[in-house]
């Protein structure tokens, strides 16, 4: 009995396997460049790249300074609420406002942290977004503060107190955050700011080119 066999070259088999493996790789979506943007290659003639560059990554930057400003402003707003309540009831203003404001501070900071009250939408996306984000955190945090206060006092707060608390804290928290977003809520995108050393390096490079 005659037997016939076909020999397939090894390079052909390896090439087929590589093509099959490449076809299984996920395709990377490449974003098309803006046709109106004029670009230069660094290797082109008469193109000098030197100095400090800024890269737009399309990311929001909620820095520590702005975060600290939000925390401080929220604290002042709730302390003012407690101070107004204490003055209206006892006619005195002292450090007793801190225990009065404590339940609302706990409720507010807990809800604002979990619901995006300290994210980029809080001040970096315009007043409307700031009002929406703050309103969501307020709708959870202040009622939570009322509940905490009721548990600590051992009694259900009266309805007038609840209504005044909701209205005044809404005006204070939402109002000041909306004002902040309107005046200083510019969206900050890109990489970090250059240091003083980098500025001197840029200055020296300009002097050398001149």
The two three-digit tokens of residue 106, written as one number = 């706990």
pLDDT for position 190 = 47
CB distance 172 to 77 below 8 Å: yes
- Yes or no: say if 77 and 57 are a contact pair by the CB < 8 Å rule: no
Q: What is the structure's pLDDT at 59? A: 45
* Domain ranges for the chain: 64-184
Among candidate residues 188, 209, 191, the one with its CA nearest the CA of residue 52 = 191
pLDDT at 93: 64
End-to-end CA distance of the chain: 89
**Residue 199 Ramachandran class (φ > 0 left, ψ -120 to 50 alpha, else beta):** alpha
- Top pLDDT among 140 and 51 is at 140
Q: Is the pLDDT confidence value at 208 over 90?
A: no
pLDDT tens across 47-106, in order?
666 555 554 444 445 678 888 999 999 999 999 999 988 777 666 666 678 998 999 999
Instruction: Give pTM, 2 decimals.
Output: 0.59
List pLDDT tens digits, range 164-187. 999 999 999 999 999 998 886 555
Indicate if the pLDDT at residue 33 is higher than 90. Answer: no
Contacts for 193-198: CB closer than 8 Å, 24+ residues apart: 194/52, 198/52
Confidence (pLDDT) at 203: 61
145 Cβ contact partners less than 8 Å away, ≥ 6 residues apart: 103, 104, 105, 106, 107, 108
- Of the candidates 118, 168, 172, 165, the one whose C-alpha atom is nearest the C-alpha of residue 145 is 165
Average pLDDT over residues 28-39: 65
Average pLDDT on 159-163 reads: 94
Between CA 179 and CA 126 the distance in angstroms is 10
- Mean pLDDT within 108-131: 88
Q: SS3 string of the chain?
A: CCCCCCCCCHHHHHHHHHHHHHHHCCCCCCCCCCCCCCCCCCCCCCCCCCCCCCCCCCCCCCCHHHHHHHHHHHHHHHHHHHHHHHHHHHCCCCCCHHHHHHHHHHHHHHHHHHCCCCCHHHCCCCHHHHHHHHHHHHHHHHHHHHHHHHHHHCCCCCHHHHHHHHHHHHHHHHHHHHHHHHHHCCCCCCCCCCCHHHHHHHHHHHHHHC
- pLDDT at position 195 over 70: no
Name the band, by pLDDT with cuts 50, 70 and 90, for residue 202. Answer: low
| Structure token digits, residue 147 | 């509940």
């Amino acid at each position: 009995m005659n037997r016939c066999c076909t020999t397939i070259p090894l390079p052909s088999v390896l090439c087929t396997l590589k093509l099959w493996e490449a076809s299984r790789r996920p395709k990377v979506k490449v974003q098309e460049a803006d046709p109106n943007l004029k670009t230069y290659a660094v290797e082109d003639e008469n193109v000098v790249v030197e100095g400090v560059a800024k890269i737009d990554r399309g990311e929001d930057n909620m820095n520590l300074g702005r975060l600290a400003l939000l925390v401080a402003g929220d604290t002042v707003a709730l302390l003012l609420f407690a101070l107004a309540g204490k003055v209206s009831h006892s006619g005195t203003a002292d450090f007793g406002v801190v225990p009065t404001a404590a339940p609302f501070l706990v409720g507010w900071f807990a809800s604002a942290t979990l619901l995006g009250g300290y994210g980029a939408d809080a001040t970096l996306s315009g007043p409307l977004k700031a009002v929406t984000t703050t309103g969501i955190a307020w709708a959870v945090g202040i009622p939570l503060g009322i509940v905490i206060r009721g548990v600590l006092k051992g009694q259900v707060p009266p309805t007038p107190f609840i209504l005044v608390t909701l209205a005044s804290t809404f005006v204070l928290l939402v109002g000041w955050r909306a004002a902040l977003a309107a005046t200083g809520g510019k969206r900050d995108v890109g990489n970090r700011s250059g240091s003083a050393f980098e500025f001197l390096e840029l200055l020296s490079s300009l002097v050398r080119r001149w």
